[in-house]
Structure 1
Amino acid sequence: MDITLEKASDTNASLKITLTPADYKPEVDKKLKDYGRKVQLKGFRPGHVPASLVQKMYGKSILVDEINSMLSKTVSQYIRENKLQVVGDPVPDREQADAIDWDNQTDFAFSYTLGLASEFDIDFGDLPSVTQYEIQAGDAEVNSTIAELQQRFHSHSHGEEVGEGDTIYGELKQVNASEGTESFSAKTAFPMAQMAEEAKGQFIGKKKGDVVTFALEQAFPDEKARANATGVKKEEAANLTGEFTFEVDDITRHEPAELNQEFFDKVLGVGAVTDEEQFRTKVVEIIRGNYARESAQLLRLDIEKTLLKNTPILLPDEFLKNWLLEVNEGKFTPEQIDEQYDDFTKSVKLQLIKNKIADKADIKVEYNEVLDVTRQMVREQFGFMGGENEEMNQTIDRIARNYLMDEKNNGQNYTNTFNRVYDDKIIDYIKTQMTIVTQDVTVDDFKALVENR
């Protein structure tokens, strides 16, 4: 076998492969013998079909399959062993392949066009610093968070008069039913929050025992809200229109939870804090924790931007555009490829940079690392705690393994999780090599930074 790489430029090359009988004949002969033992042909006992007949019937297809398999392995191995930074897929010379005379040729020549990324290196010492933002929660943010928690852990009370956010309970009656149908009536509840604004004035201020006459479809124009208010199915609620009466039996409203031990225990767990000062300190931690993931994501984006901006890489643009058109099988026009090409090349360059960093730092991902991440995902998704409960840990482990090995999507779950773990490990390594400056910011300033990104 003869393999030659011919570089036309830094980003374009061709790979030429020449095969002789010594390369493919031993494996082809072996497969022909296997066929001879297994093939069943009328007039011959199994395993006794003449080799010449087996050759005539299956020789060409076995030869073609073997050479295609050999080419695929050879191209991949050559690229890997020579650490070629190939972008896109190698494109075979189809005219050359179509011209092959499989019946008479013994030597075969093949050619592949390669798109290459230009040589580049990453010197972390030359890269500018990136900023990691530490969110500082001020009194306003703490107070609004506590107010939201008080609403979330609200209590109920009974009101004397109907207010804006109340729920009113009573009897709903239809005034004029259609001829031949029974008048609708039901004991039900009206959440004022679901009522149309223009209809609320008829109810606000009413007391127990008061009767309101109103048009149901005007109070609840949304059929889903009307179904909730009447207690019937959505399709049935669509037919409930016209004049109705509602007699108020009870009025309930949400009261914000009081800042007391019961409230602290509900929010943080029993005994976590014992006074308001400790609670406010914990709330600050909650706020910072809520923004920690966004802060980490922002840092990741800034690291990637810095790497891209400071690592010049040339790509084979014409080759890549043609390749994108071909692999997408007419899903995109050349104009659409041009529109999206910049974003595509950024992702290609970024992956090349990360792969080079991973190669230099010898970053690898083991199966157990992928499994551990999946176990944690299962715990978060299903609310499993694990810990010392062996039976629960076994359940988590079983679900995680089944997810990774799901045959319905050809192992895509494993591939996606592997890639995520691999990317995270690369980013974690980069953080140890780049200069990262910590900066305190308020919640509002951080929100503005996120919006601008």
Structure 2
Amino acid sequence: MEITLDKKSTTEGLIKIRLTEGDYQPHVEEKVKDYARKANIKGFRAGKVPSGVIKKMFGKSILVDEINHLLSHKLSDYIKENNLKILGEPLPDQEKAMGIDWDSQKDFEFEYQIGMVEDFSYDLSSKVKVKAYRIESDKKVIDETLADLKKRFGKVSYPETSAAEDNLFGELRGEDGTVKREHAFIAVEKVDKKEQKKFIGIKKDDEIEFEINKAFTDADQIAQVLGISEEEAKNEKGKYVLKVATISRTEPAEINQELFDRVFGKDVVKTEEEFMNKIRETIAENYKRETDHFLEHYIEDYFLDNTKINLPDGFLKTWLKATSKGEVTDSVLDKEFSGYVRGLKWDLIKTKIADDNKISVEAEEVKNKAKDLIVAQFGGPAIAQQLGDKLDSIADNYLSNENGQNFMRLYNQLKNEKIVQYIKEHITIDEKKVSVDEFKKIVEEHKH
């Protein structure tokens, strides 16, 4: 057997594997004997089928299987032994393979196209400076959060006639009568003050005609009402008709121990002062998640802009098309290839940082992450107390579902968090205090 690498460039190459009869024939003969022992063929006793019969009936398929098996292992071993940092998978030369005469040929030659990434370096030091923002929550935000919690955990009733604090549910039609949403929802208090009177004093089965861009001045509200993206909502105009099916009203909950327990779990806070402090902590934590997420974008931008990585673009395009079952075409590549390359480079940088600094994730950490996720999804700290020891078995079941994909998803998420945290600890982060509105403007202006 002879394996060679023909490097076309620093990032693309051709692995050639030459096989002689002596390389594969012993494996073929062993497989023929195995077939003979197990075959159940009419006219022959079990385990007594002559090798000649097996070769005549299955010889070619055995030969192909054994050579493919041999090639797979030798190709993998060669890549590992020569420390080739390949991208994707080796692509076999299909045209060359199609020309093989499996009936008479004794010696074979196979070729595999590979894409490689050169070794690269990155700067992970205090010299690296990245911007970050810290949102300061003012009294207005705290008051709005408290009002929202009181309403969310309040008592719901269904009045006959709508008022300014009510919610309207029903079928939403366009001006031409086409049903846009069967179950639309409008919070009257979110409607522009000048238009609110159209939504007050309404009863079940009444119809309200309104202009969407006059009733709502914020794109996020239009998006929520119409069930479209915020980007689409920015250009949305025209008249709509809401046929009211249900009117709901929520009487705000009182600030007492029952509310404390429903929001944060039983006996986590016991006084109004503790409750307000916990709200402030929660708001700060929520904003921190947003700013941390945005900081990751800045970190990603910095390393992509300042880390030189040569990639085999030609091979990658060929590989993506060859392995996509027809879903990736030239037109798709024209639109999405730059984004794919960006993601690939960032993954390569993070992987190298993890390898260089021995950043890893243990199975127990993944399980704890799953438990946190389950608790968050099913009501917060209160549910954890109710479940007790059952939480462990629920987490195990969740991680084993979907053939372990849930485990790998959380594993990758945790590893990414560890890598990003390691980066943050070794670079200089210039933090600036901003208001909520200022931060929203910064996010809007930031585009990849």
- Please tell me the TM-score bracket, short chain as reference: 0.7 to 0.9
The 8 Å contact of residues 11 and 311 in structure 2, kept in 1 or not, is answered as yes
Aligned pairs (5 A) from 1:62-77: 62-77=62-77
Q: What is the deviation of 1:435? A: 2.6
- 1:183 is aligned to none
Cα 1:394/1:47, change in 2 over 3 Å = farther
CA deviations 1:52-111 (Å, max 9, x no partner) are 221222222112111112222222333234332222321111222122222233332211
What corresponds to 2:108 in structure 1? 108
Given the alignment, which residue of 214, 218, 227 partners 2:207? 218
Task: Map 1:124-273 onto structure 2 (within 5 A).
Answer: 124-125=124-125, 128-152=128-152, 163-165=163-165, 193=188, 203=201, 216-218=205-207, 226-228=244-246, 272=269
Measure, in 2, the Cα distance between the counterparts of 1:11 and 1:58. Answer: 41
Kept after mapping to 2: 8 A contact 1:118/1:313: yes
Deviation at 1:371, TM superposition (A): 2.7
What is the CA–CA distance in structure 2 between the aligned matches of 1:413 and 1:51, rounded to whole Å? Answer: 48
Alignment deviations for residues 352-394 of structure 1 (CA, whole Å, 9 cap, x no partner): 11222222223333433333322322232234759997x9455
Say whether the 8 Å CA contact 1:384–1:392 is kept in structure 2. Answer: no
Rounded Cα–Cα distance in structure 1 between residues aligned with 2:162 and 2:59: 89
Aligned to 1:435: 428
Mark the CA change 1:364 to 1:258 in structure 2 (over 3 Å): closer, same or farther.
Answer: closer
Partner residue of 1:315? 311
Unaligned runs of 5+ in 1: 168-190, 205-213, 230-251
Task: Read off the aligned partner of 1:435 and give its amino acid letter.
Answer: T
**Map 1:395-410 → 2, pairs under 5 A:** 395-406=390-401, 409-410=402-403
Decide whether aligned partners of structure 1 residues 319 and 28 sit closer, same or farther in structure 2, where only a CA change above 3 A counts: same
Residue pairs, 1:382-397, within 5 angstroms? 382-383=378-379, 392=387, 394-397=389-392
The CA deviation string for residues 110-160 of structure 1, in whole angstroms up to 9 with x for no partner, is 111111223311231386222343322223322333343444455799x9x
Whole-Å Cα distance in 1 between the matches of residues 154 and 76 of structure 2? 63
Q: Which amino acid aligns with 1:44?
A: F
Shift, 1:345, TM fit: 0.5
Distance 1:326 1:256, change over 3 A: same
Secondary structure at the counterpart of residue 87 of structure 1: strand
Distance 1:262 1:373 in 2: 29
TM superposition shift of 1:291: 1.3
Counterpart contact for 1:220–1:226, Cα < 8 Å = no
1:360 alignment counterpart: 356
Mapped to 2, the partners of 1:15 and 1:100 lie a distance apart of: 18
Aligned to 1:375: 371
* Residues 1:121 and 2:110 aligned together: no
Q: Is the contact made by 1:257 and 1:263 (CA closer than 8 Å) also made in structure 2?
A: yes
Q: Which residue of 327, 340, 343 corresponds with 1:344?
A: 340
Q: Secondary structure at the match of 2:3?
A: strand
Contact 1:5 1:15 survives alignment (8 Å):
yes
Task: Calculate percent identity across the aligned residue pairs.
Answer: 40
SS of structure 2 residue aligned to 1:124: coil
Give per-residue Cα distances to partners, 1:236-267, cap 9 Å, x unaligned.
xxxxxxxxxxxxxxxx9766566677766765
Deviation at 1:310, TM superposition (A): 0.9
Deviation at residue 25 of structure 1 after TM alignment = 2.8
The CA distance in 1 between the partners of 2:420 and 2:283, in whole Å, is: 25
Residues 324-364 of structure 1: CA deviation (Å, up to 9, x unaligned): 22222333431331121110100111111122222222333
- Cα distance, 1:36 vs structure 2: 0.6
| Larger displacement relative to structure 2 (100-109 or 53-62) | 100-109
- Alpha-carbon distance between aligned partners in 1 of 2:166 and 2:387, rounded to the nearest angstrom: 43
Match of 1:283 among 276, 279, 282: 279
Within 5 Å, give how 1:32-43 maps onto structure 2: 32-43=32-43
- 1:29 maps to what in 2? 29
Question: Per the alignment, do residues 59 and 353 of structure 1 end up closer, same or farther by CA in structure 2, a change over 3 Å counting?
Answer: same
Q: Secondary structure at the residue paired with 1:414?
A: helix
Task: Tell me how far apart the structure 1 counterparts of residues 256 and 204 of structure 2 sit (CA, whole Å).
Answer: 44
Q: Does the 8 A contact of 1:386 with 1:393 survive in 2?
A: no
